[in-house]
Structure 1
Amino acid sequence: MSSDTASPAVKGPNTPTVPLTDEQLADQAERQSALRVLRKVAPYLWPRDMPWVKRRVVWAMVALVVSKLVSVATPLFYKDAVDALAGEGTPMLALGAVSLTLAYGMARLMNVGFQQLRDAVFARVGQRALRMLALETFQHIHKLSMRYHITRKTGGLSRIIERGVKGVDFLLRFLLFSIGPLILELLLIAIVLTVLFDVWYTAVVAITIALYVWFTFAVTEWRVKLRRQMNDQDTDANQKAIDSLLNYETVKYFGAEAREAERYDTAMAGYEEAAIKTNYSLAFLNFGQALIITAGLVGVMVMAAIGVQNGSLTVGDFVMVNAYMIQITVPLNFLGTVYREIRQALVDMGQMFGLLEQPAEITDKPGAANLKVTGGRITLDDVRFGYDPDRQILKGVSLEAQPGETVAIVGSTGSGKSTIGRLLFRFYDVQGGALRIDGQDIREVTQDSLHRAIGVVPQDTVLFNDTIRYNIAYGRENATREEIETAARAAQIHDFILSLPQGYETAVGERGLKLSGGEKQRVGIARTLLKDPPILLLDEATSALDSDTEGEIQDALRRAGQGRTVLTIAHRLSTVAEADRIIVLEKGEIVEQGTHEALLARQGRYAQLWQRQQSDED
C-alpha cells in the first residue's frame, strides 16, 4: 500500500537585484513544468564530455528492457506448470511439470538479476550526477551577492538545497527505473492478455489502470499542496533552530532559553498540524486506491472463472490471469507513492533550480582582465551608492590613497565608512562614479584577481570549526608550515598557540568560540598576512576589543601594513591617530581630511568626535 515518505529577478542598470523569497521560489517552482525541470536534469545524465556515462546509461536501459521481457514471460511458465499438473493443455507440455517449474524459477531469478545489474551499472551515473549538481549549486551560491546573503536565512537556504538534491536522487532512481519500466510492463501484459485471451480482459485492466491513475493524480495534486505547507513549516522550524543555536551566547546572556523554546515549539506546532492533515489525506488516498484495484482484480478473476467453468480456459489460464493482475497491482500501488514523491521532488528541485536561476548581482564583464597592481593606489571618483533606492549612503565621495599610504576613514554611525570597504571589495557595485585601483576600474577586472589583491581584517573575525593551523592556512591554500608560523609570529599569536596542549592542531570550535576576541583577531591578522596582499582593508578591526588587547592588535596591524596601501575604517579615533591621512565622513560626504594633528587644530567635526570620545573614556 502507499506510504508517505523561478523566474530570475529583473535587474536594470544600477538597479539592485532583489532576491526571491522562499514563497516566491515555491510559486515559481509550481509554474515550472515537469518537462522543464527534467530538461535541466538531463545534461547531468547524458553529459557531452563523458562518453563512459552514456555507455552506462545505454547498458542500464538494455538491462531494464530485458528484465521486463523476462518478467512478463514468467507467468507463462507458471500457467504451463499448473496445466501440466492438472493434466490439461497441449502436447507441448511434455517437458513435465518439474521442468516447467524450474523454468519458472529461472525466469524469476533472471528478472531479479537483470534488475540488480541495471542498478549496479547506473549507480555511478546517478551518484556522479548528484555530485555535479550539488557542486554547481554550491558554487553558484558563493557567486551570489552580499545583498542576497544578508537577506536570506541560512537554515532555510540549506534546507532547500538539501531537499533539492534528495529530489534529484529520487527522480533518478524512480522515474527512470519505476515509471518507465511500469509503462513498458503494462503494455507487454496488455498485448499478452489480448492475444491469449480476449480484448475484454485488456479493457477491464485498462479501465482499472485509468481510474487508478486518475484518482491517484487528482488526490496527489491536493496532497502536494498540503505537503508544501508541511515543508514550509518544517523550513520555518529549522530556521528558528539554527538561528537560535548560532546565537547561543546571546540566548544565554538574556536568559531567553524559554523564549527560544516557545518560538521553536510554535513553529513545530504548525508543522504538527500540517503533518496530521497530510496523514489524513494519505489514508483517504490509500483506501481509494485499494477500492479501485480490488474492483478490477475481482472483475478479471470472475471473467476467468467463468471461462474455466465453460471450458474455454484452463486452470493454468486462471492462475496466469491472477498472476498478471498481482504483477500489475504491485507496481500500481508503488505508482501512487512514486508519483507523489516525484511530484514533491519536482517542487523541491524547482526551488533548488530557482536558486540556480537567481542572477548574480555582481558578475565579471565578458573579457574582463586580471587586476594588475603596480603600486596599490586606490581612487574613489565621485562615488555614489545606496542599499535602497530611496536612501543614498554615499553622495559623491572622492578620495585617493597613494601607494604605501595608510588612510583612515572615520565618522559617526551611518556615515557610510564601512560601505566604502564593501564597495572596494566589490560586494556591491557603485551606482555612480567609479572606484579604481592603479587606474583600473574594478568593474572592468575579474573579481578573483580583485579579491586576491585585497586583504581584509573585519571587526569580528569568523573562524571555521577546524584547527588553528587550518584557519591561518586559509589565507593561502598551499602555504608551508614555516610560512604559517611566520605569519603567526607577525600577528603576535605564535607563542600563545605553542602554549596550547595541541598547539596549531587546536580546534577553535564553532565560529571560533573557543578563542577570545583578541585571539580570534590575531588569527585573522595572521591569515591575512599569509595571503600577502598589496592592499589591506581594516574594517573596525579592533573596535570590539578592550584597551590592552587593542594596543597589542594595533602593533600587529602596524607591522602588517608595512609596505602596503592600508585603508582603515574606524569608529574609535585613537586607533587611527598615526594614520598618514584621516578622512572624515558625515552623512555620506567628506567634510574634512588631513592628519590627526591638523584636524584637531582645525576644531571641526573630527575635533568634536575626538573630544567626545576622550570624555567618554575618562
Structure 2
Amino acid sequence: MSKTYPPPTAVIDPDPSRSWLRRAWPLVKAHRLMFGTALVSSAIGLLVAVQVPKLIQDALDNSIVTNRVPLSEYLWWLVGLTAVMLIAGFLARQLLFRTAYKIEYDLRNIMYEHLTGLSFPFYDRVQTGQLISRANSDIRSVQMYLAFAPFMLVQCAISLVSFGYMLAISVPLAIVAMLPMPLVFLTSRRMQRSMFPVSWLIQARLADVATVVDENVNGARVVKSFAAERRQLSLLQKAAIKVRWAYIKDADLRARWTPAVQNLPRVGMAIVLVFGGYLAIQGVLGVGAILAFNSYLLMLQVPFQMLGMLIMMGQRASASAKRLYEVLDEKPEIVDAPSAVELTDARGDVEFRDVRFGYGDGPDVLNGLSLRLGSGETVALVGRTGSGKSTVARLLPRFYDVRAGSVTVDGHDVREVTLHSLRDTVGIVLDEPFLFSASVRDNIAYGRPDADITDIERVARLAGAHEFIMGLSEGYDTVIGERGYTLSGGQRQRLAIARTLLVNPPVLVLDDATSAIDVQVEQEIHAGLRTLFAGRTTLIIAHRLSTISLADRVVLLDGGEIVADGTHAELLENTPLYAEVLAQANESVEELGGVAR
C-alpha cells in the first residue's frame, strides 16, 4: 500500500484584493514556531555580534592603552561570545532552511491539489508548459522570499542597535555617518519600480521555454516523423533569445542600481574617517572608540548591501506570486452542487434528454440529442468523424456540463450527484489511453491500488492483455516507458480496458477503445468482453463492424443528432448513411494498412 503524506498545513488567502504577501501570510504563520525560533536565534547571534566591537574597544582602552585590566579577561569573553554566535547561527540556518522547504512543500501541494480540482475547460485553454513553470520556478521564487526576507529584515533591525552604539560613542559622528542614507532609500525605490516589469517578463518567458520543451518531449515521435527537429529547435531558440534578452535587461538594471545601493553607505565611512580622525587628533575620541565606530558602521552597511538582493528577490517573488494566483484564483466549472447526493447501487439506466452542448464559446456539437440506455444494455454509437460521438462519452461522467437538456443516471441528473460517486459509477476507456511510467501491475491497479494480483490477472485476461504481459521482461512488474510508448497502441488500449474493468463500474463507456487493436486480436477478446458486458450498461463508440457486433442495438449520430436507432441489420437495410459510414471506416483501416497489435 502506498505511503500517505501529510496535507499542506495552510492555504493561500482567497481574497484577490489583498497584496500578494498578505495572501501568502497563512503559509508563514502555519510554521510560526519553527520560523520564529529561527529568527530569534538569528537575532541573538546578531545581538551578540554587536557586543564584540564594544568588547574590543574596552580591551584597547583598558588593557593596551591604560593596562588596567588583564587582556586575557577580554579574550575569554571573546571566546564565549564566539561560541554563542556559532550556536545561534547554526540554529538559525538549520531552522530557517527547514521552514523554507516546508513552505515550498505546502505551496506545491496547494498548487497540485488546486490543479486536480480544475475542470476540463481550463486544461483546454492553458498550455502545460505554463503550468509546469508556475509549479516549479514560480513557487521557488515565492518560497525564497517568504523565508529569507524576514531573516534579512532581522539583520536590518539589529543595525538599529549598532546605530545606538554609534550614538553612544559620538552623536555628531553618527549623524554625519547617516547622511548618505536618504539617497540609499531613494535609489532603492527607483530600483524596485524599474525591476518589477522585467521580473514578470522573465518568469513569463521561462514558462514559454518550458512549453516548447514539454511539447517537443511529449511529441518527440511526431517531430521525428516529420523530420522537424530543426524547425522545433528554431522555435526553442526564439523563446530562449527572448529569455536571454529579459535576463540581460535584468542584469543591466542590477548593474545600474545595485552598486549605488551597496556603496552609497561607504561614502558615510569616508566621512567618518575624515571627521573621526579630526576628533581623535583633538583628543575628543580615543583610538578604541574610532575602531569600534568603524566596526558598527560596517555592521550598518551589511543590510544595505543586502538591500539590492532583497529588492530583486521581492520583485521576482511578487511577479511569481501573481502568476501563481492567476491559477489558484481559477474556479472549477464542474463542481458538486450544494445538495448533491451520493450515487449508490446504480442499476445503470442512462438517458440523454434533448441535450445541447458545445465547447467553450463555439457552436453546438450536439443539437437536441435524446438517447436512452436501459440497465444492462449494450449500445453502439456510430457516426462520421466530428458527429459528436466522443462528446457524448465526455458528458456522461460530467467532464463537461450540457448547455441545455440533461444527462441522467438512474433518474438522477448528473449535476445533482457527487462527482466522485458518478465517476465511480461510470468507467470510460478513451481511444488514446494514458499510461503512467510505472509497472504494468500499478497501471492496471490505478483505480484500485489495493487490488491483489489475482484480480489484476483476471481483468488482464478478459481484456486480452495477459499473454503479451507475460512476454514482457518482468511480466506484471515490468516498468513501461513514459505514457506507455514502449508498448504498441493495441497493447496500451488493452491495459486501459483492464484498468477500467478492475474498478468494475456499473456503466462502461468504450470510446473507440479497440481502434488500435488488430481485428483478429479483437475477435479473440470478444468473448471476454461479452462476459463483461453482461448485466452492465455499456456504450460503445466504434467504427468497426466487429466491434459493433457486440452491441444489442446501434445508434447512428449525424450533425449532433440521432438519425437512426435499431439493430445492425435494420440500419444496414433501411439507412443508406449507416452503410456509407461503415464503408468509410473500412476504407480508412485499409488505407492505414491495419493497426498495431
**TM-score between the two structures when normalised by the length of structure 1:** 0.88
Tell me by how many angstroms 1:578 deviates. Answer: 3.5
User: CA distance change for structure 1 residues 551 and 208 in 2, over 3 Å: closer, same or farther?
Assistant: farther
2:29 to 46, 53, 59: 46
Q: Where does residue 561 of structure 1 map in the other structure?
A: 533
Q: 1:296 aligns with which of 268, 275, 280?
A: 268
Q: Give the superposition deviation at 1:358.
A: 0.9
1:62 aligns with 2:40: yes
After TM superposition, give the deviation of residue 126 of structure 1 in Å. Answer: 3.7
1:13 corresponding residue in structure 2: none
Aligned residue among 236, 256, 275 for 2:208: 236
Gaps of 5+ in 1: 1-30, 48-52
Q: 1:106 aligned to 2:80?
A: yes
- Measure, in 2, the Cα distance between the counterparts of 1:532 and 1:205: 79
Question: Larger RCO: Structure 1 or Structure 2 (Cα < 8 Å, ≥ 6 residues apart)?
Answer: 1
Q: Secondary structure at the match of 1:95?
A: coil
- Using the alignment, how far apart are the partners of 2:179 and 2:420 within structure 1? 62
Q: Give distance in 1, aligned partners of 2:188 and 2:346.
A: 68
Residue 300 of structure 2 corresponds to residue 328 of structure 1: yes
Matched, 1:212 2:212: no
> One-letter code of the match for 1:158?
I
Cα distance in 2, alignment partners of residues 415 and 56 from structure 1 = 59
Which secondary structure state, in structure 2, belongs to the residue aligned with residue 410 of structure 1? strand
Instruction: Confirm whether residue 178 of structure 1 aligns to residue 152 of structure 2.
Output: yes
Instruction: Kindly indicate whether the alpha-carbon contact (under 8 Å) linking 2:196 and 2:315 is maintained by their aligned counterparts in 1.
Output: yes
For structure 2, the residue ranges without an aligned partner over 5 or more in a row are 1-14, 591-597
After superposition, the Cα gap between the structure-2 partners of 1:204 and 1:491, relative to the gap in structure 1 and judged at 3 Å, is farther
Aligned to 2:4: none
1:163 aligned residue: 137
SS at match of 2:156: helix
**For the structure 1 residues 139 and 616, does the alpha-carbon distance in structure 2 shift closer, same or farther, using more than 3 Å as the test?**
closer
Letter in 2 for 1:134: R
Q: Is the 8 A contact 1:32 1:350 kept in 2?
A: no
Cα distance in 2, alignment partners of residues 387 and 582 from structure 1: 26
Alpha carbons 2:376, 2:534 under 8 Å: kept: yes
> Match of 1:537, as an amino acid?
V
Aligned residue number for residue 499 of structure 1 = 471
Equivalent positions of 1:267-278 (< 5 A) are 267-278=239-250
**Closer, same or farther: CA 356–72 of 1 in aligned 2, 3 Å:** same
Which residue does 1:131 correspond to in 2?
Answer: 105
Measure the CA separation in 2 of the matches of 1:581 and 1:385. Answer: 24
Aligned with 1:141 (options 108, 112, 115): 115
Identity of aligned residues (%): 32
Alignment partner of 1:342 is 2:314: yes
1:549-573 deviations in whole A, cap 9, x for unaligned?
A: 4434555443432321001122445
Shift of 1:616: 6.2
Is 1:73–2:56 an aligned residue pair? Answer: no
Give the whole-Å Cα distance in 1 for the aligned partners of 2:345 and 2:179.
75
Contact 2:436 2:443 in 1 (8 A): yes
CA distance in 2, matches of 1:497, 1:611: 34
- Counterpart pick for 2:488 among 503, 509, 516: 516
In the TM superposition, what is the alpha-carbon distance from 1:124 to its structure 2 partner?
4.3
Deviations 1:26-59 (A, max 9, x none): xxxxx978x7222222222333xxxxx5443443
Aligned position for 2:548? 576
1:184 partner amino acid: A
Partner of 1:193: 166
Quick check: 1:170–1:342 contact (8 Å CA) kept in 2?
no
Q: SS of the residue aligned with 2:401?
A: coil
AA partner of residue 305 (structure 1): G
Cα shift at 1:143: 0.9
Q: Distance in 1 between matches of 2:459 and 2:359?
A: 36
2:325 is matched with: 353
Q: 1:470 to 1:184 in 2, by over 3 A?
A: same
Amino acid of the structure 2 residue aligned with 1:70: V
Q: Could you tell me how far apart the structure 1 residues matched to 2:527 and 2:306 are?
A: 69
- Separation in 1, partners of 2:583, 2:98: 69
Q: After superposition, where does 1:244-263 map in structure 2 within 5 Å?
A: 244-263=216-235
Q: One-letter code of the match for 2:163?
A: A
**Once the 2 structures are TM-superposed, how far is the Cα of residue 612 of structure 1 from its aligned partner?**
4.2
* Aligned counterparts of 1:373 and 1:207: Cα–Cα separation in 2: 80
TM-score, with structure 2 as normaliser: 0.91
CA contact (8 A) 2:200 2:320 kept: no
Q: By how many angstroms is 1:178 displaced?
A: 1.2
2:509 is paired with a residue whose SS is strand
In the alignment, which residue of structure 1 is the partner of 2:12?
none
Q: Is the 8 Å Cα contact of residues 554 and 566 (structure 2) preserved in structure 1?
A: yes
* Deviation at residue 234 of structure 1 after TM alignment: 2.2
Matches within 5 A, 1:523-602: 523-552=495-524, 554-602=526-574
Count of aligned positions = 576
User: How far has the Cα of 1:513 moved from its partner?
Assistant: 0.7
What whole-Å deviation, never above 9, does each CA across 1:334-369 have from its counterpart, x for those lacking one?
221122112211221221122111111111112422
- Paired AA for residue 254 in structure 1: F
1:215 Cα deviation (Å)? 1.2
Question: Which residue identity is paired with 1:144?
Answer: L
Task: Please say if residues 592 and 605 of structure 1, whose CA atoms lie closer than 8 Å, have aligned partners that are also in contact.
Answer: no
What is the match of residue 25 of structure 1?
Answer: none
The verdict on how the C-alpha distance between 1:195 and 1:461 changes in structure 2, with shifts beyond 3 A counting, is same
